[in-house]
Each structure stands twice: as structure tokens, then as C-alpha cells.
Amino acid sequence: MKIAWSMIVLATCLTSCASKNDISRLQKEITDLKNHQAAEDKAKRDRLSQLEASIEAAETSRLTCRAGAEKSYDDGLAANGRPVRGRPGFYNGDSRVFARLEEDEKEGYADCQREYEDAMQEAKLKFGD
């Protein structure tokens, strides 16, 4: 009886088991899927890295831009005012000129912020998901 069951199991296996070609094909498909998934993962990591680099560049650019606006203001004070003795960084002069310098600085800051926001939007569109 045991031999009969063994023969039935063997016959079932022979008729229902995959052929060697089928197994090879399935193994290749599995390998291809793993390679495809690895390539997708690498592409995501690359996009994330590029997004982070773009964000960092935008932030650096904004800080550099703001420093330029501040320097322009400071240079304007030095060019249009007289230093107050004993108080570094303080100047006497025409208040209208100083008010205009402050407005120019604020406009410079606003320009810097717009450029930053544009760069961030561009980075998100280009590298975001």
C-alpha cells in the first residue's frame, strides 16, 4: 500500500510540477523584478539627494542675497552719514536718506525671499515625488 501511495505521489508530482525551463524562467523573472526594484530604489535615493542639494543651494543663495542687502545698507550708511564718535555702527545724517536705505534693504530682503521660494518650488517640481 505504501508503494502505491508513493507511486501516486510521484505520478502527481511528475504531471503537476514545473519543468526545468519553467523554473529557470521564473527564477529569471524574480531576478529581473529584484533588479527593477533596486533601480527604482536608487532613482528615489538620487532624486532625494538632488532635492536636498537644491534646497541647500536655495538656502545658501538666500543667505548670500540677504547679506548683500545688508552690506548695501551698511555701505549706504557709511557713504551718506557721519559716524557717531564712540558708537561703532551708528551714523548721523539725513533721516530721509536713511529711511530710503531701510526701504531698499527691505525690498532686497523681499527679492531674496521671492528668489528662494521660486528655487524651492522649482526643486520640488523637478525632484519631488
DSSP string, 26-91: HHHHHHHHHHHHHHHHHHHHHHHHHHHHHHHHHHHHHHHHHHHHHHHHHHHHHHHEEEPTT-TT-E
Return the higher-pLDDT residue of 12 and 62. 62
Residue 32, C-alpha cell as written in the block: 529581473
Mean pLDDT of 28-39: 90
Q: What is the pLDDT of residues 65-117, one digit of tens each?
A: 999 999 999 999 999 999 999 998 899 999 999 999 999 999 999 999 999 99
Question: Tell me, what's the pLDDT at 12?
Answer: 55
- For the chain, domain boundaries: 40-129
Maximum distance among all Cα pairs of the chain, rounded to whole angstroms: 115
Mean pLDDT of 22-46: 90
Q: What is the pLDDT of residues 37-62, one digit of tens each?
A: 999 999 999 999 999 999 999 999 99
**Cα–Cα distance, 95 to 77 (Å, whole number):** 11
Question: Tell me, what's the pLDDT at 129?
Answer: 62
Return the higher-pLDDT residue of 129 and 94. 94
Confidence of residue 20 (pLDDT cuts 50, 70, 90): confident
Query: 0.75 exceeded by the pTM?
Result: no
Residue 3, C-alpha cell as written in the block: 508503494
Please check whether residue 71 is in contact with residue 112, taking contact to mean a CB–CB distance below 8 angstroms. no
